[in-house]
Structure 1
Amino acid sequence: MAIPTAVVPVSEIFELRRSVLRAGLPAETAVFPEDSDPDVFHIAAYDGSGALRACGTFFPDPLPEAAAPGGRTPAYRFRGLASDPEVRGQGYGQAVLAAGLAEIGARGVRHAWCNGRTPATGFYQRQGFTRLGEEFVLDPGGAHYVFVRELTD
C-alpha cells in the first residue's frame, strides 16, 4: 500500500517537526527562516486513518561549494525531515522524501541536498544521496554531514 503524501501549509507539520527535531526546546527553535520563502513547500505523509506520520520542508538553495566548486548550481535543499517515532522504519520518511524529490523535479530543478544528521547516513545513502565532506555540528541538532543527489527523469 502506498503511503499518502500531500503538499501542506507549515501549520500542518509544525508540531511533528518540533516534537521530533526540537524536543524539549522552545517552539521557536522549530521555526525555520525558509518557512516564509515564497518557493518553499512542505510535504506530509499520513497513515491509513489520516494521522500525520512524517514531514519535511523543501526550499531553493544552490548546491554547497563542496558539491559544485566555483558554481552556484540551482538546487532545492530540504530540512526538518521528521518521522513519528511510533512509525519510524515503516517508510513514512522515505515517502516524504520521494514526494519532495518528485516536486523538485516537477519544478525543473535537478539537484537536492541537505545537512543530514549523522545517524541518518544510511537512510540518505539508501535514497541515492552521496555524503560529502567532513562531519560538522549544528546547534541544535548535533553531528551532521552534507548529502547531495542529482535527480533524473
Structure 2
Amino acid sequence: MQPPLQQPIGFWTARAGEAIRTRTQSRLADVAVSQPEWWVLHQLSLHTAGMGEREMLATIGPNATDEIIAQAIDDAISKGWVERADGALTSTAAGRERFAVAADVQRELNAERRQGISDADYATTIEVLQRTIRNVGGDAWHW
C-alpha cells in the first residue's frame, strides 16, 4: 500500500462512511430502529416542545432524501413513537423510551469508533474533512 500522503482522501472518506453506516444500521436494527428513525427521534430529543415537519426535513436533509425522512416520520408515528398535531411533531413516552435505547447504542458505537483515537486526533480529523470539503467548493454542516 502507498504511504498515507500518496493515498486519495476521497477513497478513505467513502470507505469510512460506508463502514460506519453499515455498522450503525446493523446495531440500530438490533433495537428495532432504522437510522432515519433515529434521526427523527434524536431531533425530537433536542426539541422537546415539538418540531415542525419542514424544520425536521431541513435539519435532517443532508443525511437522506426528503422521501426517506418523511417515511421515517410516518413509520415513527405508526409505531407510536411520534405524534403529529397542529403542524408539529412531538415525541411520545414510547418514543422517548425508544430514543434512550437507541442513544445507548449510539454511545457504544461512538466509543467503538473512537478506540485508540485521542480527542485531539478526532477533532483534527473532523476539521481536516471540513476544510477539504470547503477546498473543493462543497458546503456541509452538522446540527
TM-score calculated relative to the size of structure 1: 0.27
Question: Which structure features the higher share of strand residues?
Answer: 1
Q: Which has the higher Rg, Structure 1 or Structure 2?
A: 2
Give the TM-score, by structure 2 length: 0.28
Which protein is richer in helix relative to its size? Answer: 2
